[in-house]
């Protein structure tokens, strides 16, 4: 039977082996989950992919007003003095719908990204664990999380990049560059071709890959630590408590994610808004950095900590809740 941490039956990921020689990270999983889904089958990975869509698309969409202000302040730090002043100004100029600028591209893009991020993470985590073996996978589980999440995010960002380009261009131009996600797609491809949708891919990788590595590794280890501090086994807690642990672990992970990825996030916004025709990404980065300096890479960080912490907590809450609904185990257990 397969060996894998987050998809075992009741006590996932961190249990002791039958031998007392070492504390084993991996346990043997049953052939099927409680919902009848065969673990590590096509249906299993499809369920994880769907869970990723539900976790990322709606949550990123819900914080569009925060994201809009963050992106505009990254491009022009003097534009607004604060969130409430920004929303008041935007509503006065563009109506209430103005604070939701970029919603369509956000929903489409981060649904695609969530599918790739969570689905491929589960796949790579299983494959890499099988490659290195049970004991090595346990001893170096943090490295396993980092490798699996990095691999998944590289693919997920290819799915996200076109929609992120539309979102950022729409949000950072006043009046907005496009009236809808499809209008933005037509305008960018008409002016720059399909390549125009991918000009921010390299800085997107620079932002998202470290972000996701921190997000998944810190989440897995934080949840492990929380269960280790609790007096009972995970199986003895209600599903509400288990998903609450997922939310708390996700929020803590999100704070780390925001700090690690923020400079690249600023650069993504700047490049999508200011990159000149024919200019290479490297040249654009150098020119923009020369203008804003090191301090400019941290514009909007407090807002992003709140946004990303909430986002990450909600994503893990939704993802593990969905897994529970379809009969799959939630993440984590005592070591």
SS3 at position 34: coil
What's the confidence (pLDDT) of residue 30?
45
CA distance 192 to 280: 14
SS3 content of the chain, % helix, strand, coil (to 5): 70, 0, 25
What's the confidence (pLDDT) of residue 35?
59
What's the confidence (pLDDT) of residue 269?
79
CA distance 199 to 205: 12
φ/ψ (deg, to 5) at 3: -115, 125
What's the confidence (pLDDT) of residue 224?
92
What's the confidence (pLDDT) of residue 34?
60
Exposed, middle or buried by CB within 10 Å (0-12, 13-18, 19+), for 306? middle
The residue ranges of every structural domain in the chain are 34-198, 218-324
What's the confidence (pLDDT) of residue 9?
34
> Taking the CA of residue 335 as centre, how many other CA atoms within 13 Å lie in the half-sphere pointing to its CB?
14
What's the confidence (pLDDT) of residue 81?
85
Q: Which residues contact 33 (CB under 8 A, 6 or more apart)?
A: 7, 9, 39, 44, 326, 327, 328, 329
DSSP state string for 185-200: HHHHHHHH-GGGGSTT
CA distance 66 to 69: 5
pTM: 0.79
In terms of phi and psi (left: phi > 0; alpha: psi -120 to 50; beta: otherwise), the region of 31 is alpha
What's the confidence (pLDDT) of residue 169?
92
What's the confidence (pLDDT) of residue 334?
63
CA distance 274 to 239: 47
Q: What is the DSSP letter of 19?
A: S
Q: Low-confidence residues of the chain, pLDDT below 50?
A: 1-31
The answer to whether residues 119 and 156 touch, using CB atoms and an 8 Å cutoff, is no
What's the confidence (pLDDT) of residue 91?
96
Q: CATH code for 34-198? A: 1.50.40.10
């Amino acid at each position: 039977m397969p060996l894998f941490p987050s998809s075992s039956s009741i006590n996932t990921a961190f249990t002791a082996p039958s031998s007392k020689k070492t504390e084993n990270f991996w346990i043997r999983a049953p052939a099927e989950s409680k919902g009848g889904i065969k673990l590590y089958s096509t249906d299993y990975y499809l369920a994880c992919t769907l869970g990723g869509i539900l976790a990322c698309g709606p949550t990123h969409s819900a914080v569009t007003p925060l994201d809009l202000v963050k992106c505009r302040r990254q491009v022009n730090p003097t534009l607004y003095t604060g969130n409430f002043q920004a929303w008041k100004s935007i509503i006065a100029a563009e109506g209430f719908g103005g604070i939701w600028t970029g919603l369509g591209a956000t929903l489409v893009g981060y649904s695609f990204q969530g599918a790739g991020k969570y689905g491929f993470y589960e796949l790579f985590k299983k494959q890499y664990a099988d490659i290195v073996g049970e004991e090595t996978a346990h001893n170096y589980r943090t490295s396993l999380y980092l490798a699996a999440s990095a691999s998944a995010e590289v693919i997920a960002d290819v799915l996200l990049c076109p929609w992120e380009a539309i979102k950022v261009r729409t949000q950072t131009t006043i009046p907005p560059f496009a009236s809808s996600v499809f209008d933005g797609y037509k305008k960018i491809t008409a002016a720059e071709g399909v390549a125009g949708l991918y000009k921010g891919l390299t800085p997107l990788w620079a932002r998202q890959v470290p972000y996701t590595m921190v997000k998944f590794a810190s989440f897995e280890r934080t949840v492990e630590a929380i269960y280790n501090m609790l007096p009972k086994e995970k199986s003895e807690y209600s599903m509400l408590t288990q998903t609450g642990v997922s939310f708390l672990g996700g929020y803590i992970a999100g704070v780390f994610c925001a700090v690690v990825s923020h400079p690249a996030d600023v650069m993504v916004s700047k490049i999508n808004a200011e990159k000149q025709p024919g200019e290479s990404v490297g040249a654009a980065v150098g020119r923009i950095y020369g203008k804003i300096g090191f301090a400019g890479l941290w514009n909007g960080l407090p807002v992003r900590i709140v946004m990303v912490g909430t986002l990450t907590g909600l994503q893990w809450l939704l993802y593990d809740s969905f897994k529970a609904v379809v009969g799959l185990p939630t993440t984590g257990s005592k070591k």
